[in-house]
Chain A
Amino acid sequence: MKIAVCVSHVPDTATKIKIGADEKMIDPAGVVYIINPYDEFAVEESLKTKEKFGGEVIAVSVGNDNSKETIRKSLAMGVDRGILLKCDRALDSYGIAKALSEELKNYVPDIIFMGKQSVDYDDAIVGQLTSEMLGISCITNVIELKIDGQKITAEREIEGGKEVVESELPIIITTQKGLNEPRYASLKGIMAAKKKEIAEKQVGDFSNLTEVLKIKKPAEKQPGRIVGTDASAVPELVRLLHEEAKVI
């Protein structure tokens, strides 16, 4: 089976966001970058799929040179080889999907995994856009997956429950927490990853369909009042919620 996994290099979720001087990007000073947490489920699922059906897994990332760290991390977990689609300018999700689909249409994967969203821009649409550009199916937000011949049965998380979805290969699966437990890279895996190939290609000249005008911090919430220090404060708290905030 030909398997691809798309990975994204993002600020650690513990990052305190500072707005950059141009107000279009965050200030990268002191920010620790990691593999997008949702992509770890994608890497794990791609490896499990290869273990079951054989074949090859390639990792693809769109980004600058630093994204190689994240590709390398997926190689250490067991991915066979990597491709960095180099791009130093900011792309919107449409541009990223365009870059991925231009590359992946040559590889023709049976199945592509990627996180349901990256934890930086939180758009959660790259998988769907890429599937349209490649003309293949897509199931998002997947927490359980079965592959049986060409047939795919997946469970996806929805409000108040789960949907069981049927579709067929070739397909893009976007992964949600709960799908699996991502493996740790072994020492052997980390050593082996150093020898694995990461091909570099330049991203074409796509124009974005949306444009960032300004990034800003949300209004700081002022700390409120401490109503009390034990259960005797409860009636006053309820009164405030009922009469002042009017939310109960």
Chain B
Amino acid sequence: MPKYIIAILEQRENKLKKISFEVISFSKSLSEKLGLEAAAIVIGDEIDNISEINNYGISKVFHFKNKLLSNYSVSAYSDIITEFVKQLDVEYLVLGDTSLGKDLAPRIAARIKAGCVMDIVNINLSEETPIFTRPIYAGKALVDMKFNSDIKVVTIRPNVFKGQKIDNPNTLNIDSKEIQNPNLKTRVIEIKKAEGKLDVAEADIIVSGGRGLKGPENFSLVENLADVLGAAVGASRAAVDAGWRSHRDQVGQTGKTVSPSLYIACGISGAIQHLAGMSSSKYIVAINKDKDAPIFSIADYGIVGDLFEILPALTEEIKKINS
């Protein structure tokens, strides 16, 4: 019997999140290369888009159900998964490196004496043992790691390993089990959404503002551009520390480390802590009036000039493309 690789999926409000499909595709691909059997686990009430799972290459899913588990409960989720994993011959558990995955992965790992390699951005299978690469120092360096444990827990950085639909998926086999009396010692009782805003940690495009905006009121220029791009609004530490933006928007070493397809830095000079947090973006655009600003050293495209003129013009120009 081959050993299992288990994709642990994440749902919010009864819907599998984008990261779940990235976890499925990653697990599927690793299972093929290592000769493992891939299966998925999801915990929650009814899951609206559960039938999407096999489109990404895994056709066996274990669904642990209870109305009370719609919201995340680390105590219940770790009990259920640990119990399940102990009954199988498991080699890998894969989660997304999200607020939920980061919280849950080590709780399970500790119980089954598995090592954890978090936030991986690359995997190398050409050596004797798989080598996992993850950023450290907020991306100023990378580290290659291997496991010394039998069971291995990895979390994958969002947006790095893409969720890929496969041709001719197998029929989905859902093994559903009602959970009696889940352990709700630690549980989410309410989710407070930030009003309609995309989070920088999840966005494919980010428009960030810094001190060059001169004040919180001018962030509307950044927001307008973000709106037409369907982008999230980020901020430099200087803008956050000045009280212009909430900490949740902060990109950089004491904020969030991001890897979107496109990062537009507006009025951000590019302190080392900021560059660490965003330099792995696929494309970087810098708009700054100081031609010597360090941000230009990593930007793919730059405009040296006045952002108060450039941002509105850019917003209008993108509207043209959209229409």
Bound-complex Cα distance A173 to B311 (A): 41
CA distance A38 to B262 in the complex (A): 28
Give the distance to chain A from B258, nearest Cβ to Cβ, in Å: 12
Write out, one digit per residue, whether chain A residues 151-191 have a CB within 8 A of any chain B CB (1) or not (0): 00001111111111111100000001110000000000000
Map CB proximity to A onto B85-104 as digits: 1 under 8 Å, 0 otherwise: 00000000000001110110
Partner of B199, one of A14, A15, A159, A248: A159
Which A residues are in CB contact (< 8 Å) with B99? 140-141, 156-159, 163
A128 within 8 A of B: yes
Q: Is A208 an interface residue (CB 8 A)?
A: yes
Taking CB atoms, residues of chain A closer than 8 Å to B185 are 137, 167-168
Q: Considering the complex, which residues of chain B in the window 87-123 have a beta carbon less than 8 Å from any beta carbon of chain A? A: 98-100, 102-103, 105-107, 109-111, 113-119
The answer, yes or no, to whether A129 is at the interface (CB within 8 Å) is: yes
A245 and B202 contact, CB distance less than 8 A: no
Mark interface residues in A211-248 (1 if CB within 8 Å of B CB, else 0): 11111111001011111111101110110111001011
Which residue of chain B lies nearest to A122 when distances are taken between CB atoms in the complex? B136
Q: Does B296 contact A (CB under 8 A)?
A: yes
Contact yes or no, A164 B140, CB < 8 A: no
Q: Is B299 an interface position by the 8 A CB rule?
A: yes
Contact of A11 among B72, B110, B137 (CB under 8 A): B137
Cα–Cα, bound, A39→B217 (Å): 32
Size class of the B contact interface (CB-based, 8 Å): 35 or more
**With known contacts A167-B185, A211-B146, A235-B317, A138–B74 Cβ distance under 8 A:** yes
State whether A123 touches B118 (Cβ < 8 A).
yes
Interface string of A116-133 (1 = CB under 8 A from B): 000111111100110111
Seen from chain B, the residues whose Cβ lies within 8 Å of a Cβ on chain A are 71-72, 74-75, 98-100, 102-103, 105-107, 109-111, 113-119, 131, 135-149, 185-194, 197-199, 201-202, 205, 229, 246-248, 250, 253-255, 257, 261-262, 271-273, 279-280, 282-285, 291, 296-306, 309-310, 313-314, 317-318, 321
Interface CB pairs A-B, < 8 A, 11 = A123-B116, A132-B107, A161-B194, A165-B188, A168-B185, A212-B144, A215-B144, A217-B140, A226-B303, A240-B301, A248-B205
New A-B pairs, 18, CB < 8 Å, besides A157-B248, A218-B140: A15-B140, A15-B272, A17-B137, A123-B118, A140-B103, A158-B99, A163-B72, A163-B99, A165-B189, A167-B187, A176-B247, A177-B250, A214-B143, A215-B136, A217-B142, A231-B310, A238-B317, A247-B282
Q: State whether B118 touches A13 (Cβ < 8 A).
A: no
Q: How many A-B residue pairs have CB under 8 A?
A: 267
Residues of B within 8 A of A207 (CB): 148
Pair A133/B279 contact, Cβ less than 8 Å: no
B142 / chain A contacts, CB cutoff of 8 Å: 215-218
The secondary-structure label for the interface of chain B is: mixed
Taking A14-B272, A137-B75 as contacts, is the C-beta distance between A164 and B190 under 8 angstroms?
Answer: yes
Among all A-B residue pairs, the 4 with the closest Cβ atoms:
A209-B115, A132-B110, A224-B300, A125-B106
CA gap between A212 and B136 in the complex, in Å: 12
